[in-house]
Structure 1
C-alpha cells in the first residue's frame, strides 16, 4: 500500500512540476487551434491526432502540442508514438504445404479434401475427398500448415516453378479448424524477365492475425504453379501497434530521367510510401533513398518492383514500398529505365506514418482545445504511467474518447507572424552575441600582447 501511495505522490509531484513549467502558456501562443469534443467516461480522454493537424507542428517530436480548457488552463497529457517495429520481434518459419486438387469440371469454389492430422493439429496428409483419375485432376492451390506458429502472421514468402514467367495471383483464406474459413484478401507474386535480367517478387503481406492453416487458391486454376518453398513470417508483439495513417498526395520533382524527389512537410517516421502509376502497363524496378536534410547524404531505404499491368481485362497494381520507419524529410526514387520508366513528370506520392495518440487528464471546465505550432515551446508530455497511476495497455481502450473537429481548425495568422518574428529576432540576437563575444576575445588578446614585456636581446 505504501509503495502505491509513494508512486501516486511522485506522479502528482511530476505532474505539478510539468504544469507549473507551462502554466504561463496561452492558446494564443500557438499558431493552430482545434476544438475537441469528448465522449465516454473521464477524466482521461484519448485522442488520435489526424496527420493534417500534426503537420502544423513546428517541432518533429510534437513538443509544441498542448490541450487547454475553456478558461485557458493547460491540461496534463501523454503521447503514444511507438512505431510498429519498435515493439515486435519477427521470425521466419518454414512450413509444410499440401496440394489442393479438384476435378476439371468442378464447380465448387474450394476443393473438397480429406485431412489427416496428429493430436496437436499438425497436418500429416491431405487428399481429394473423392478419387480422381489421372488426367481428370487440376491443381487449384495449396494448403499451408501454420499450426506450430503461435504468433500473429505478418508475411508470406513463396518460391515456385512454373512453365512460364509472369504473375501468380491467388486468394488467401485462414482457418483454425479447416471447416470455417476467413478471407484474408488476395496475394500476388511475380517472376519477370526483361533486358536479360530477372525481377522477382516473393513476399505477400498478411493482416497480422493468428491462424493455424492458410489456404491459397489460384484465381485462374490452370496456372497454379508447383511450390518449392513456403515460409511464414510471424511477430511477437508486446503491444498492439497504432494503425497507419496516410497523407494527401504529394507533388514531386525530377531533375534527370529516372530520378524523382519529394519534400515532406517535416521530418517524419515514414513506414510506407505509395507511388502514383498513372499509365497502364507500367513496370518499374525501383530503389528508394531518404535523408533528413539536403546537407546530408542519401541513405538507402529499400527497393522493390512497382507495376500496373492489365491481365484478363483487370488492372493488377503494386505501387507500395515498405520502409523501416526512420525519420526522413526528403525522399528520392530511382527507376530502372529499362522497364519503361514512369515518364518525364514526377508522379505524386503518398506516405504513411504510425498514428499518434494523445491522452489528456481533463481538469476544469470544457470545451477543450488542442493547439499546436510553437517553435520555442518545451516538451511537456508525461509518461502514460505517470498520467494514469494504475495504467496498463488493457486500460487504454476503456478511456473516454476525444475527437478533432477538422473543419473548425483555426490558423492564427497574427500568432504565426509573431512566432516567425520572434524566431528571427532570437536568431539575430544570437548572431550579434557571437560577433560581440568574438570582438571582446580579440580585444582581450590584443590587450594581453600589449602588456607583455619586450623580449630581452
Structure 2
C-alpha cells in the first residue's frame, strides 16, 4: 500500500503542475465563442485575425476554454485542394458488324457518318452469308472520358461473352482498349449476371466490340458511363493591403505582423503598362540571411481597351516574417514608393469537443506553449468530409484585437509568483515523499 500511495502522489503532483501551468491568462488574446447546431463537436473557421494573433506559425498556441477555464479537446485541419467528380450514364446507339465467318480477325465493313461524327449506318462490304461478329457503339455525343460500358443482350444467349474493345475518332484508325467480358449464368435456380466492363478513362467517339471465335449476341441495351473531374484550389484567406519600405532602387521590403506560412502574394500594380520581372526572398527574423522563395513576371498591360493583369506570386508555404522583392528595372520598375502587398494563408478549421459549461472562449498568443491539438480521426472516431458537414458550428462573438509581437514576447515585470508557487508545490511533494520513505525504512521488518 505504501508503494502505491507514493506512486499515486507522484503522478498527482506532476499532473497538477502540468495543468496548472496553462490557463486562459497565459494567452494574449481572448475572444468569446457562440455555438449553434448539434454538438458536442463544433467547427470554427479561424479568421485571418486569429492567425495574426498567434505567436506560433503552426497555430500550436490556439486553445479553447470553457467557463471554468478548462481546456477543451480540439483538432486543427488546414484545408487542402479538393477534387470533385461528376458521373453521367448515357444510352448509346449500336450498329451490327458482320463478317463471312467467326474466324476473321476483324469484320470488313463500310461505315457512314455525318460531318459532326454521328454514326448513321454500318453496311457489310460483301454479299453472301454473313455472321454477326460484333457491334459499333456511337459515343460521339459524349465529350467526357469514358469510364464504364454496360451491355444487355438477348435471353437466348446465356453464358460468358468475351470480346475485344477498340476505340476510334474517325472510324478508320482503331486503338486497342483491351478485352471485355460479360456473363449471364443460371445454376440451381440461382442467376448470376455481370453486365459492366471497365474502360480506361479516355475519350473516344466510337467503340468497336468484336467477339472472337463465336458469334456475337443480339444487343438489347448499351450504356456508357463518363466522368469529369475538377480540382478545386485550396481555400485561402487574404490580408488587407500591407505598406512596404523602399530599400534602394528596384528593391522593397515588407514586415508581416508575425511569422506566417504564406501561400501566395498579390502586388498592387497601379500604373497601366507595367512590366516587371521580379524575384522574392524571405526570412523569419531580422539579421538572418534572405532565402529565395519565388520569381516571376508581373504585369498590367492594356490590350483592346482592357487591362490584362498578372500580379500574383506563388510561394512554397514556409514560415516567413519579412519579405523582400527585387525588380529588374529594365522593364521600367515599380516606382520609388513601395507598392502595397496582400498575402494569403491557407484557411484553417478548428474542431473542438465541448466539455463543461459555456460560454466557451478562443484563446491565442503564447510563444512558449507546446501543441495540444489531437488528430481529427482521434477527436472524432468516424470523421469524414460528410461527417464534418453535420457538426455544429461556432463563431466569434467579438472582435479579435491583433497585438504587436513585442507585446506577446515581452517578459512579465516583477516576481512570477505563479511559477514560485508551482516550485513550492513540487518541493513540498518531494519532501513528503522523502518523509514517507524514511518512515517506512525505520519500521522493523516483520519476523516470520
* 1:38-187 → structure 2 map (5 Å cutoff): 38-81=35-78, 114-115=116-117, 124=169, 148=202
1:389 to 373, 381, 384: 381
Q: Residue 421 in 1 paired to residue 411 in 2?
A: yes
Instruction: Quote the Cα distance in structure 1 between the aligned partners of 2:403 and 2:253.
Output: 31
TM-score, normalized by length of structure 1? 0.54
Q: Quickly say closer, same or farther: Cα 1:148–1:301, change in 2 above 3 A.
A: farther
1:194 match: none
* Partners of 1:23 and 1:73 within 8 A in 2: no
* Partners of 1:43 and 1:362 within 8 A in 2: yes
Instruction: Measure how far apart 1:246 and its partner are.
Output: 0.7
1:293 to 282, 285, 291: 285
In the TM superposition, what whole-angstrom CA distance separates every residue of 1:221-258 from its partner, at most 9, and x where no partner exists?
xxxxxxxxxxxxx87xxxx8751111111111121111
* Partners of 1:19 and 1:75 within 8 A in 2: no
Instruction: Quote the Cα distance in structure 2 between the aligned partners of 1:81 and 1:421.
Output: 31
Q: Residue 308 in 1 paired to residue 308 in 2?
A: no
1:345 to 320, 337, 348: 337
Ranges in structure 1 where 5+ consecutive residues have no aligned partner = 1-16, 89-112, 126-145, 150-175, 179-209, 213-233, 427-457
CA RMSD of aligned residues (A): 3.8
Ranges in structure 2 where 5+ consecutive residues have no aligned partner = 1-13, 84-114, 119-138, 147-166, 171-199, 204-223, 417-448
Instruction: Quote the Cα distance in structure 2 between the aligned partners of 1:412 and 1:325.
Output: 23
Q: Residue 33 in 1 paired to residue 30 in 2?
A: yes
Does the residue aligned with 1:385 lie in a helix, a strand or coil? helix
* Partners of 2:300 and 2:309 within 8 A in 1: yes
Aligned residue-pair number: 280
Instruction: Quote the Cα distance in structure 1 between the aligned partners of 2:413 and 2:282.
Output: 28
Q: Residue 322 in 1 paired to residue 314 in 2?
A: yes
Does the residue aligned with 2:278 lie in a helix, a strand or coil? strand
1:409 to 373, 394, 400: 400
Instruction: Measure how far apart 1:361 and its partner are.
Output: 0.3
2:187 match: none
Larger gyration radius, structure 1 or structure 2: 2
Moved over 6 A (4+): 17-20, 416-419, 423-426
Q: Quickly say closer, same or farther: Cα 1:390–1:270, change in 2 above 3 A.
A: same
* Partners of 2:61 and 2:364 within 8 A in 1: yes
TM-score, normalized by length of structure 2? 0.55
Instruction: Quote the Cα distance in structure 2 between the aligned partners of 1:424 and 1:293.
Output: 28
Instruction: Measure how far apart 1:419 and its partner are.
Output: 6.8
In the TM superposition, what whole-angstrom CA distance separates every residue of 1:249-295 from its partner, at most 9, and x where no partner exists?
11111211111111222222211100001112211121222222333
* 1:205-284 → structure 2 map (5 Å cutoff): 211=228, 243-284=235-276
**Larger mean Cα displacement after TM superposition, 301-310 or 391-400:** 391-400
1:134 match: none
